[in-house]
Structure 1
Amino acid sequence: MRIWWLPLLFALALAGAFAQKSMVLEATAYTSSVRETDSTPFVTATGMRTRLGVIAVSPDLLKVLPYGTKVRLVDLGSVYGRGRGQFDALFAGRLFVVADVMHPRMREKVDVWLPDRATALRFGRRLVRLEVVEYPRR
């Protein structure tokens, strides 16, 4: 006897693994500097070249935000409660893609790639609302 519902159950379980669509996380910024990355500062963990719109996630988030996930970011201000919306112009209408991973010591954080160190320092430590737009095809 064929169990017709088993593939459906498997599909639902798989979809449940990626069910979280929005989360508030701490965000920092990084640049393509050897002192901030590794010996290949312009290449992400997926082999993609760094560019505006690339983010790195902490290793624990790779389970819910696998490489290739497309997200939107909303600036909620610094972790100290100031500057809400200061980076809205950078985030507005832009899709970010998970293409890199942070150091294993990091937990529940994202790192936004920025082209220059001055902007990255001004970005500081911020809170962002990350909204999943599209998961990668499996």
Structure 2
Amino acid sequence: MTLNLLPGAGIKSETEIYPSDMMFVQENSLVAIASPFNPDPQVARELNVVVTAYSSTVMETDDTPFITASGKMVREGIIANNLLPFGTKVKIPSLYGDKIFIVEDRMAERKGDYHFDIWFPSYWEALNFGAKDVIVKVLES
């Protein structure tokens, strides 16, 4: 976040998120916790959906398996969906608590709008995830 310290004078300062503003979720994901500079996002709506998983294998993706449909590199926290715009943030509380996923990829059209696909680094992790009926919370942007 950039703050104008002296408007018109061009003096700016970068605000930092300190380690006390972060926490680990499920031992592998560092997430920001609510603070005045990082308020907890509000839920815009809830969707009953099917959540599955995928990885960057040729049989599960197109000819650019490490690039999402939005043009970003795959990484922890990427989720695919056909309904929501790229950049939409969602939570899946029943599976991941307050962890936030960002829609950066798409799925085969036949999957429809109420199906989400979480990216995993390995084929076996994705396969073991299976398919789950859950509520996804879409966050305000």
TM-score range, shorter chain: 0.5 to 0.7
What is the letter of the counterpart of residue 47 of structure 1? G
Partner residue in 1 for 2:54: 30
Matches within 5 A, 1:69-88: 69-75=88-94, 88=95
The answer for the alignment partner of 2:87 in structure 1 is: 68
Equivalence for 1:112 = 118
Partners of 1:94 and 1:131 lie apart in 2 by 11
Q: Distance in 2 between matches of 1:49 and 1:97?
A: 12
Matched residue, 1:94: 99
Flag structure 1 segments of 5+ consecutive residues without an equivalent: 1-18, 76-87
Which amino acid in structure 1 is aligned with residue 86 of structure 2?
Answer: Y
What is the RMSD of the two structures over their aligned residues, measured on CA atoms? 1.7
Question: Which residue does 1:47 correspond to in 2?
Answer: 71
Alpha-carbon distance in structure 1 between the residues aligned to 2:106 and 2:44: 19
Give, in whole Å, the separation in 2 of the partners of 1:125 and 1:105: 16
CA deviation vs aligned residue, 1:45-80 (integer Å, no higher than 9, x gap): 1111111100001x3x1xxx21110111133xxxxx
After superposing on structure 2, the runs of 4+ consecutive aligned residues of structure 1 that deviate more than 4 Å are none
Aligned pairs, how many?
98
CA separation in 2, counterparts of 1:97 and 1:128?
17
Aligned-pair identity in percent equals: 41
Listed as ranges, the gaps of 5+ residues in structure 2 are 1-42
Match of 1:129 in 2: 135
Structure 1 match to 2:80: 56
Q: How far off its partner does 1:20 sit?
A: 5.6
Partner Cα separation in structure 2 for residue 74 and residue 29 of structure 1 = 16
TM-score (norm 2): 0.64
Answer 1 or 2: which has greater helix percent.
Answer: 1
